Amino acid sequence: MKKIPKSLVPLSSRSPGEESGDELALDESGLEAARKSLDDGAVTPAYGPHRDAIVKLLNDALATELVCVLRYKRHYYTAKGVASPKIAEEFMVHAQEETQHSESIAERIVQLGGEPDFSPDSLLERSHAGYDESKDLQAMIRSNLIAERVAVESYRQMIALIGEKDPTTRRMLEQILADEEEHADELSDWLEK
C-alpha cells in the first residue's frame, strides 16, 4: 500500500483527532478499478455518476459558444459606422476565441466518453446566450455584453457544480471563464465610448 505522509495533507483536510504523524493511504480499490476497462481511456470509475451530468453541462456550454461565434460573425460582417472597422475587428477576434472554446469543450466531451452535440436544430434552445440581428453598432455591443455576462455567470455556476468531481474540466472552464470576463470588460469599455 502506497502511503503519503500526513504532514503533506492540509490540516483542514484531516479528520478530527488525526495527528500529523499518521499516514494517509491511497484507495487501493480505486487504483485496481483504474487498471480495468481500458477502453474508457482516461475516464476511471472515480468519475462515477457525475460524468453524464458533466457531459450535459459541457454540451450546453458548447451550444452557447457556437451561438456566440455566429452572433459575433454576423456583427463583424454587418457593423457600420465611424467606429465600426476597429470594433468589427474585435468582433472577429472574439468569434475566433469562442471557436477555440467550443473546440476545447468538444474535445473534453469526447475525452469523457460523450458525444459533442453540434446539432443546429437545438442550438438556440440549449444555448445560455442568445443570437442577435441588431443593425446598430451600440446595440451589437450591448447584445454581446449581455451574452458575455450570461456566459460568465453560467461558467461560474458550472465550475461550482463540478468542483472536485472533475478537476480537468474545472480547470478548462476556469480558463474559458477568464477569457469571457476579458471579453465582457472590452465590450463594457466600448459601450461607454
User: Do the bridges between strand 23-25 and strand 3-5 make them parallel or antiparallel, or are there none, so unpaired?
Assistant: antiparallel
pLDDT at residue 6 is higher than 70: no
pLDDT at residue 15 is higher than 80: no
pLDDT in tens, 56-112: 999 999 999 999 999 999 999 999 876 788 899 999 999 999 999 999 999 999 999
Per DSSP, the residues of the chain read --EEEGGGS-GGGSPTT--TTSEEE--HHHHHHHTS-GGGTT--GGGTTHHHHHHHHHHHHHHHHHHHHHHHHHHHHH--STTHHHHHHHHHHHHHHHHHHHHHHHHHHHHTT------TTSHHHH-SS------SHHHHHHHHHHHHHHHHHHHHHHHHHHTTS-HHHHHHHHHHHHHHHHHHHHHHHHHH-
Distance in angstroms (rounded) separating the CA atoms of residues 136 and 158: 33
The ranges assigned to domains in the chain are 3-36, 47-192
Q: For residue 43, what is its C-alpha cell?
A: 475516464
What is the mean pLDDT of the segment spanning 181-186?
Answer: 96
Could you please state the CATH topology (level 3) that the domain comprising 47-192 is classified under: Ferritin (1.20.1260)
Kindly report the average pLDDT of the chain as a whole number: 86
Per-residue pLDDT at 9 = 43
In this prediction, what percent of the chain has a pLDDT beyond 70? Answer: 81
